Every structure is written in structure tokens, then in C-alpha cells.
Chains A and B, each alone.
Chain A
Amino acid sequence: MSGALAIEVAGEEVLLLPQKALYWPRERLLVVADIHFGKAAAFRSLGVPVPHGTTAENLAALDALVERHGARGIVFLGDFLHARAAHAPATQRALLAWRERHAGLSLLLVRGNHDRHAGDPAAQLRIALVDEPHLHGPFAFSHHPELAADGYVLAGHVHPTFLLASRFDALRLPCFLVGPRRMILPSFGAFTGGHPVTPEPGERVFVSSGEAIHSVR
């Protein structure tokens, strides 16, 4: 049981993964939004102590998904690096070592707002860099969801979460917000928060419990 949920958007079957990513089987592409590498390091350089381990956690999560689905490439929907301080040597070393383990993987980054401040990732990482929207098949890979594009928009930026509430209990969970013309992915990063969203009419909400995807609206 992978806990993933297959849905159809823009005539394509995609898998919503409980690990807060999307998989496009036909192209064997893993799609990941808002990973924010180096965010912990950025906090530390500003004098806020964050324990180490979040970069390794992110990379291990990518490892597991690539292996499980046999992905041949990853598309990052923006905010790959959190800030300039993300170029800290320790973070860069970890990223390079990971890249060497996956030398054959094609990597594509659609630049987001944080990437503009942080600067492009190092050339040795061999990541193809594009501006939004990046058209591929029926999809327009973007960072900002509000973008008008000729295609079904897959975007991040919002870090959407949804409040599941009953009379006794309430849980805030990361979610996919799936509309007729665009989908917003949850943030993938281990050290990223979320913002509650209210779906508009015609939008469906899929929450991730960490183990499975549930359709809630």
C-alpha cells in the first residue's frame, strides 16, 4: 500500500502522493513544490537556532520516491533554495553528494520568488533552469498559481493546508488543491510551514495524513 491516489487532470492520469509530491506516470516525472533547501541554515545565520537534519530528511524523502516509482526526472516547482545563506558549504556538500548518487536523473527547476533572492543553484548540480510557465504536454509547470498559461497549471508557492474539524477534534493537514484549470501542490520541504486555504467552488481538496491521501471535498 503506497497510500497514493490516482486522479485525472487535463486528460492525464497523475498520482497524488502522501509524501506531498505528485507523480506523472506517463513521463515518469516526480513533481515537487517548495522544498526550500537551506532554510534551516538561513535561520541559523540570522541567529535562530534550528537543529540540523532537515536537508538530509528532504534528500532521503526524494531518494525514497525516486526509487519507489522509478522516476527518470524531477521537476521542482520553485523555491528550491530558501535564501542566499542556503549556499552554505554543508548544504551544498549534501546536495552534491546526493546528485552524484543520482547522476542519471534529469532535474528541472522552475524559478520561484525565493530562487530569485537566493540565486541559482550551483552549476555542478546540473539542474536545468527555466522561468515560469514551463510547458510540457498538457501541463504548465509554474511556481505562482495565479499565472495565466496555455495549459493546466501545476504550481506551489502557497503551502496549502486544510483544517479537518469534527466536534471534538481538529487537524491541520497539508493538501492538494485541485481546480478545473490548475492544481496547487503542498510544500515538500521538511522545514516549511503551511497556510490554511479555503477551496473555491469547483475545487477539490485532497489531504495527506503522511500515510495516505484522502479526498475531503
Chain B
Amino acid sequence: MTTLAALDAWFAQRNWTVFSFQRAVWKAAREGQSGLLHANTGAGKTYAVWFAALLRGGERKPSGLRVLWLTPMRALAADTQRSLEQSAAALAPAWSIGARTGDTGSAERARQSRSLPNCLITTPESLSLLLSHAATREQSRHLDMVIVDEWHELMGSKRGVQVQLALARLRRWRPGLVVWGLSATMGNLRLAQDVLLGEGQGTLVEGDLSKQIVVDTLIPANVTRFPWGGHLGIEMLEPVIREIDQHASTLVFTNTRSQCELWYQNIIDARPDWAGLVALHHGSLDREVREWVEMGLKQGELKAVICTASLDLGVDFLPVERVLQVGSAKGIARLLQRAGRSGHAPGRVSRVTLVPTNSLELLEAAGARQAVASRRIEARQVPNKPFDVLVQHLVTVALGGGFRSEDLLDEVRSAWSYRLLTDEEWQWALDFVARGGQSLTVYPEYRRVLPDEEGVYRVPDAAIGRRHRMGIGTIVSDASIQVKYMSGGRIGSVEESFVARLKPGDRFLFGGRFLEFVRVHEMTAFVKRATRSSGAVTRWQGAKMPLSSELAHAALDQLQLAAQGVFEGPEMESLRPLVEIQQRWSALPTSDTLVVESMKSREGYHLFVYPFAGRSVHMGLASLFSYRIGRTQPITFSIAINDYGFELLAPEAVDWARVFAGATGAEVDLFDTATLLEDVLGSLNATQLSQQRFREVARIAGLVFSGYPGQPKSTRQLQASSSLFFEVFRKHDAANLLLTQAQREVLEQELELTRLRDTLAELHERKVAYREVRRATPFGFALMVERFREKVTTERLSDRVARMVRELEKAAAA
């Protein structure tokens, strides 16, 4: 039975010292306070909150559900359970600990529905599912504490909103409920605390933050002055293999699954003796394969794992000696998280080494080190009243015992994301689930949620309840297709859109093997091992993440220093020749100068602009510019973008000198923000983008039913795609808030309208350096290659680029 003295003894037995942050959490929790624990890595934070829960249990024998432990990934649930059980065995042997996730078997589920364990580890979706059962309220009558692990990961997503709503419900049942969140470093911890605990509520405990984090770079032997994406990849293979060789265990993070597959393939080709010692891990691989890799890593049997963000989370991937990041990490928080995979134990140094895939990434590397040192870290945005999640929650609560409108409205408004929900919006959501939409229309046949004689909204039909439970969950993945050998074995799953592009006989790289596509049958892509080793390989690309604004600014700061002749660190030192040629031929983009270059070539008239604002903002800017220019002069541009800037290529001349005449951005009409929203909507096919967004919205709101497990198609009567709903709503119910939400999500998340506006405002402040250049500058060259990439095959691309580099180098030497 747990007392402070028992804890001290437990620590002493292991020769461990209690950290002051652990004591702080124990004390606050014992006083009944909720809070947020900000701790980077290591097992220390688990002991802080878990022992706090045990202390609150005191010396009584626990009865019923006392502690809920929420984790973002079901793969983590088993790990967490093991870790909690180990310490409980000595300290609180009477406690029962169980997990309930999508992976939990039906026998265990049935046992839990009779009585829940004292501590239940679960995911946001499974918690929502519990709330849809009327018995849960009674089963939670002893609930004392909720722990939300990896809150930084959850809070920015709709799953985080689902957690907010569930907590609001649990607090209503148990007013004294103690809630603790665990969060890694992020830019807006105070907000994280408010969202989890309520405005100004709870206490913030700072964990073990003295942890030293080292960021360094594998400097390529030849830093070319004319960089292009990916060209350093193969050149860096040797240094990477050397690093793997010299360390007991290494994690190699890549940004996309195709990059992951390629690096694995190249490493194995170079070191065939490592087969079985080096493994591959990404989200599309079969769960069994991934578990095997995770286990091998934990037991120290693997020398290296090439992985994607799929290994970003995890409680105790213990001893990894070395962490490499191939290509840009895109953000500081991500880099910190990955660094934390090494030196995981308290007090050890965490180190991440960047492996640039083109010379410009050296600039990011230099910036990243600076940003990490000064802890300039990205903030997370929290979704603002998403109606799809609200609609889902209303049905969930109606199923789990029913609700009265005014009570539930109060409760929902206590969740941060809905604190500003208006009465009209509430009424709309209620009408949507109770009447099927427009409040003035009566649909006698409509039944989903109905008020009974006492005004309590319930779900009258068991079949509707069953379908709703199947659909609970807010993670919507692109429709995925299983990949199987003709002979039977499962390999994993890929996006339907990728398979749609394949023809029989096409080859692709997946699961570390070259596969040949045979056919698709019933949501399964059948493949066989490819026999031909030559010929084109279909590239399988994930979405590209934009560079975070913190990292972009850090890179610009490095250029600002370089402009003053200060080259700090080995990255900038090796980049010096590139920077000098950029300065000589044009000008250096910095935090106070926007460089704009125009150039004429055989291809046409080029314009290069370098705002350093990340690819999605550049896409928005490029479309905005071509739309605004197109209003005065009928013209078609082809567009190329990267994280540093964009290129507009036109078949005829544009008077760019006049367009960019002005000392600062504020004097350039093109940067006008007054009509930004209309122009962005006009310039992009916003309708089509909203329709894509609506897929997710429709599924969360329960419009599209994806079927019972093992039954690939839903009941025939209910077949309709989200695009069909989108059309019908647009035509017959244009004011539907779910449509508005889809449009808002497009503007905010895909086009990053806020960041676009901020960027334009920043450009107003910068000096405009307009240069007419005779040939592509280093920054411009990177963009030109980006454009060819869309057009030509890989082989021909490298030939062509090599020829251009030779020509440019000759000019630079002259």
C-alpha cells in the first residue's frame, strides 16, 4: 500500500534519487490539484504521475476504476501497461491494471464490461466508445484521476477535441476529478494547459529540462554550389553506413515512406552482411512486422532501423545509441523529439545528427541548432469548434444514457474548443442529429436521436447505435488497400490512390523488396517478387510537410549573419562558396531582405521569389501572384515551389521590374492583404479542395459508414460516398455547418491562410531586392530542378541536371 515513505524506500532500493519535479507532482496531486507536467523524455515522468495516482489511492484496497490512462497510440498501450505493472508489483500489488484499445480481444472486453480494472489504459477512441455505454457512469463512480500521455501529440488534432469532450463528461460525473497531462516541449505550453484543464486551471510542473541536447551534421565531402533536392542522397550513404557501423544501435529517421524504403535498399545493397540486423519501420507495414522490429530494437538485437515518424512516439525504446535524421526535419519540436530517442535515460545527453540531402539543408541544420539552443519551438494550433466531432459526441452521449439539451450544452462549453459555441450553433447540431438537418423541415421517417417524453435525447434504434459505435473515431486514413503476395502472405497496406496509378507489371519498392503489381481484387493488391531488376520503378510518395515557420526564420537568421560576413559552425562554413556566388550574381535573402530574380532562358521568362515561408505558403503565394497578374495580362504560368521560395515561368515577358518597383514590400501591390481571402478563393480550386476535406468530416459526423469488420462493403442500402453527400448538401442545404467547416479547414490547414497573411505582413517590412540575372543562381537552380522533376524520369533528370551544373560551374569560375 502506497505512502510517501514506501515510495522513498522504493527509489532508495534502486539507488535512484527522486527528482524534484516528481515530488512536486506527488504533492500537487495529493492536494487534489490537476496539472500539466512538461518533461521531455525518460521514464521519470511516468513515475511522477503514476505514483501520484497510487499515493492518492493511499492505503485502502482499490475498488473499481480509479485511474484512466489515455495514450495516443494503441501500440503504446501494451508498453505502458508493462511499465505500470512492474512498479505496481512492488508498491501496490492489489491494483489491477488493464488495457482497452482497438486491439483488445473480445474475451477481455467482455470481462471488462462486467468490471473495469483499477487502472485502465486506453485511447481517445476507446474512451469515447466507453462513454457510449450507459453502464460506464456507474462503473466510474470511484474514478479519481485521469492521465493524458503525449498531450502535445493529441492537442492539435480532432482526437484531442474528442479528449476534451470526454473529460468534460467525466468531470461532470466526478466533480473532484484530478487530471494530469504529460507534454513534451512546445511553443505554447500555457495554452496546452488551458485546453486540457480549463482556462487558468491547474498547475504547470517543469520536468527535467536541464537535459543536454546536441544537434550536429554529417558534412558532405563536396558541397555543390548548385543544389538540388535529393542529389546528395547517395553521396551520404557511405558516411551513414560508417555511423551505423561504429555504434551498437542507430535509428535513421526519414521523412517519407518512399525515402525510407530507398535508404533501406541502398544500405542493404552496400552491406549485404547486415541482412537481418538492419530493419525497416513505417506506418504502412503490417502490424506484426512493426511489432517484430520494435521488439528487436528493445532487446538490442537490431543494429539499425530505418524509419519514418512511425517511431516518433513510444515510452521506452530503450538503448538507442545514435539518431540520424535524413533530410530536413521540417520543425524544431520534431527534431527535439527525435533527439530524445537517444540518451533516453535521465541525465544522459541526447544527440541527433542531420544528414543533408542537398546543400541548402545545411542552412536549415545551422538554423536548427541555433533554434534548439534557444528553445524556439513551434506552437500547436487547437481546432476551433469542429462540428463533425460535436455531432459524433451528441450521438455518443445519447447512446450512453441520454442527455438534456441545456445540461449537455453547459458541459460541452466547458471544453476549450467549444467555449465560444453559440446557442444557434448548438441548436443546429442538435437539429442535425435529432431531425436530420434544416430545423424547419420535418422528416417523419428520420430517426437517429430522439427526445423522450421527459426531454431526454436517446438513440431509439439498436442498429443505429451499433453503426455509430463502429464509426467512433476521428482518425481518418486515406482508403487503404492491403498488399498481399499471390501465394498468400500479407505485407502491409498502401493508399488506394497509389494502387490506382499502377498497371499490371509495374514495379515498386515496398517492405524492403522490389514487387511487381499483378492485380487488385476486393480491396487487396496482389503482388509477386519482381524478377526484372531493371526498368522504371513507380515512386510512392507521401505528402510533403512544409518547413515550420520557426525553422524557416532560424535559417533566414543564419543568412542574415552570412550577409555580414559571419559564418558560424561547420555547416555555414561549408556553405560559404554557395552563399558567395548567390551574393555575387544576385543578392542574399535574409530576414530583412526579400530577393526577387527574373531571368530569360530558352524555356521562357522566369521569376524567382524567396520568402522562406514553407511550401504550402509558397503554393498559396505563387497561385495568388499568378491570379493577380493574370487579371491585368492574360497569361499562364507554370509554378515550382520548395520550402525557400517559388518560381513562376511564363512563355512571354512580364514587366517584373515595374511590378516589384518599391523600396519595401509595402509598396508592392502584389503583396496587398486587403482582398486576400477573395483572391485566394478565386485563385485555387477551393471547391475541389473542400470536397476532399469533406471526406474526413463526413466520416466523423457519421454520414458515411465504412462497414462492419470483415465485411468490406456496408449494407447496400447505405452506400454513398462523401463526394455524393458533398454535392447534395451543396445543392440542397448550402448552409450546412459541416460544409462551412470543410471550407474553413481547407483555408486554415491546407492553404494555411493565417500563415499566408502573416507572411505577406512580414514581406511588407522587408526591403525588396529585385535583380535581373543572366543565369540561375544557387537558390533559383534548386527551384528549376523542382520543376523538371514533375516532368521527366529520374534517370534523365540526373543527366540533365549534371549538364546544367557543369555549365553553371564554368560560369561561376569565370
Q: Say whether A49 contacts B719, CB under 8 Å.
A: no
Given contacts A50-B725, A52-B443, contact A191 B448 (CB under 8 A): no
- Knowing A44-B436, A46-B717, A52-B443, the reply to whether A190 touches B728 (Cβ < 8 A) is yes
Any A CB within 8 A of the CB of B476: no
Question: In the complex the two chains form, is A51's CB within 8 Å of B438's CB?
Answer: yes
Q: Is the CB of A88 within 8 A of B728?
A: no
Q: In whole Å, how far is A75's beta carbon from the nearest beta carbon of chain B?
A: 24
The proximity string for A residues 51-89 relative to B, scoring 1 for CB distances below 8 Å and 0 otherwise, is 111100100000000000000000000000011010011
Q: Are B732 and A46 closer than 8 Å at their CB atoms?
A: no
Q: Cβ of B723 and Cβ of A193 under 8 Å apart?
A: yes
Q: Are B464 and A46 in contact (CB under 8 A)?
A: yes
Bound CA span A46–B718, Å: 8
Q: Which residues of A contact B723 (CB under 8 A)?
A: 193
Interface check B461, CB cutoff 8 A: yes
**Is residue A122 within 8 Å, beta carbon to beta carbon, of the partner chain?**
no
Q: Is B317 an interface residue (CB 8 A)?
A: no
Say yes or no: is A47 at the interface (Cβ < 8 Å to chain B): yes
Determine whether the beta carbon of A54 is less than 8 Å from that of B461: no
Q: Is the CB of A54 within 8 A of B732?
A: yes
| Closest CB in chain A relative to B254 CB, distance in Å | 28
* Interface membership of chain B positions 442-482, coded 1 if the CB is closer than 8 angstroms to chain A and 0 otherwise: 01111110000000000001011001100000000000000
The answer on a CB contact under 8 Å between A193 and B438 is no
Q: Is the CB of A51 within 8 A of B718?
A: no
Which residue in chain A gives the minimum CB-CB distance to B432? A49
For A43, list chain B residues within 8 Å (CB). Answer: 717-718, 720
Please give the number of chain A residues whose Cβ is less than 8 angstroms from any Cβ of chain B in the complex. 27
Complex alpha-carbon distance, A47 and B703, angstroms = 9
Interface members, chain A 27-54 (any B CB < 8 Å): 39-54
Cα separation A6 to B244 with both chains bound (whole Å): 69
> A192 an interface residue at 8 Å Cβ cutoff?
yes
Bound: A191/B705 CA distance, A: 16
8 Å CB contact of B733 from A42, A51, A89, A90: A51
Chain A residues with CB under 8 A of B720:
39, 43, 191, 193
- Within A80-138, the residues touching B (CB, 8 Å) are 82-83, 85, 88-90
Is the C-beta of B702 less than 8 angstroms from some C-beta in chain A?
Answer: yes
A51 touching B703, Cβ below 8 Å: no
Kindly name the residue among B461, B463, B731 whose own CB sees the greatest number of chain A CB atoms within 10 A. B731
Question: From residue 158 to 215 of chain B, which have CB atoms closer than 8 A to chain A?
Answer: none
In the complex, the answer to whether B717 meets A88 with C-beta atoms within 8 Å is no
Q: How far is the CA of A34 from the CA of B260 in the complex (A)?
A: 46
CA distance in complex: A54, B728 (Å): 8
Q: Which residues on the B side are within 8 Å of A89 (C-beta)?
A: 444
Residue B728 contacts which of A41, A45, A50, A83 (CB distance < 8 angstroms)? A50
- Indicate if B543 sits at the interface (CB-CB under 8 A): no
CA distance A40 to B671 in the complex (A): 47
Known contacts A44-B446, A45-B447, A192-B724; A51/B732 CB under 8 A:
yes
Residues from chain A with Cβ under 8 Å of B736 in the complex: 51
Give min CB distance, B135 to chain A, whole Å.
22
B436 proximity list for chain A (CB < 8 A): 44, 49-50
Q: Does B11 contact A (CB under 8 A)?
A: no
**Is A191 touching B724 in the complex (CB atoms < 8 A)?**
yes
B interface residue count range (under 10 / 10 to 19 / 20 to 34 / 35 or more): 35 or more
B222 adjacent to chain A (CB < 8 Å): no
Chain A neighbourhood of B444, CB < 8 A: 88-90
Nearest CB of A to B125, in Å: 20
Given contacts A54-B728, A82-B717, A191-B720, contact A49 B445 (CB under 8 A): no
Q: Which residues of B contact A39 (CB under 8 A)?
A: 720
Per-residue 0/1 for A163-199: is the Cβ within 8 Å of any B Cβ (1 yes, 0 no)? 0000000000000000000000000001111000000
In the bound assembly, the distance between CA atoms of A29 and B129 in angstroms comes to: 54
B703 and A83 within 8 A (CB) = no
A20 to chain B, nearest CB (A): 14
B87 part of interface (Cβ distance < 8 Å)? no
Taking the nearest CB of chain B, how far is it from the CB of A118, in angstroms? 9
The reply to whether A191 and B717 contact each other, CB–CB distance below 8 Å, is no
**Which chain B positions have C-beta within 8 A of A53?**
728, 731-733
Closest to B433 in A: A49
Is B445 touching A85 in the complex (CB atoms < 8 A)? yes
Residues of A within 8 A of B703 (CB): 48-49
Tell whether, in the assembled complex, residue B438 and residue A47 are in contact, meaning their CB atoms are under 8 Å apart.
Answer: no
A47 touches B732 (CB 8 A): no
- Rounded to whole Å, the gap between the CB of B517 and the closest CB of chain A is 15
B736 — nearest CB in chain A belongs to which residue? A51
Asked whether B19 is an interface residue with its Cβ less than 8 Å from the other chain, the reply is: no
Q: How far does the Cβ of A192 sit from chain B's closest Cβ, in whole Å?
A: 7
- When C-beta atoms are compared, the residue in chain A nearest to B395 turns out to be A47
What is the minimal beta-carbon distance from A99 to any residue of chain B, in angstroms? 21
Which A-chain residue is minimally distant from B718 (CB atoms)?
Answer: A46
Instruction: Tell me the smallest distance from the CB of A86 to a CB of chain B, in Å.
Output: 10
With A44-B436, A193-B720 as contacts: A51 and B446 at CB distance below 8 Å:
no
Please name all residues of chain B whose beta carbon is closer than 8 Å to the beta carbon of A83 when the two chains form the complex: 717
Chain B residue nearest in CB terms to A42: B717
Residues of A within 8 A of B381 (CB): none
Chain A residues whose C-beta falls within 8 Å of the C-beta of B464 in the assembled complex:
46-47
B725 touches A47 (CB 8 A): no
The reply to whether A51 and B437 contact each other, CB–CB distance below 8 Å, is yes
Q: How far is the CB of B476 from chain A (nearest CB, A)?
A: 17
Contacting residues, chain B, for A51 (C-beta < 8 A): 437-438, 728-729, 732-733, 736
Contact of B719 with A193 in the complex, beta carbons under 8 Å: yes
Closest to B704 in A: A48
Contacts of B446 in A (CB 8 A): 44-45, 47, 49
Q: Is B15 an interface residue (CB 8 A)?
A: no
Residue of B nearest to A56 (CB): B732
Query: For the complex, what is the distance from the CA of A42 to the CA of B715, rounded to whole Å?
Result: 12
Minimum Cβ distance to chain B for residue A101 (Å): 22
In the complex, A30 Cα to B525 Cα: how many Å?
41
Contact with A along B681-724 (1 / 0, CB 8 A): 00000000000000000000011010000000000011111011
In the complex, whether B441 has a CB less than 8 A from a CB of chain A is yes
Chain B residues, CB < 8 A from A48: 448, 702-703, 705, 718
Residues of A within 8 A of B705 (CB): 48
A47 close to B461 (CB less than 8 A): yes
Given contacts A39-B720, A50-B725, A190-B731, 6 further A-B contacts (CB under 8 A): A47-B446, A47-B447, A51-B437, A52-B441, A57-B731, A193-B724
Chain B contacts to A: CB under 8 angstroms: 432-433, 435-438, 441, 443-448, 461, 463-464, 467-468, 702-703, 705, 717-721, 723-725, 728-729, 731-733, 736
- Top 6 nearest A-B pairs (CB, nearest first) are A51-B733, A47-B448, A53-B732, A49-B436, A47-B464, A44-B446
A-B contact pairs, 6 of them (CB 8 A): A45-B445, A51-B437, A51-B728, A51-B732, A88-B444, A191-B724
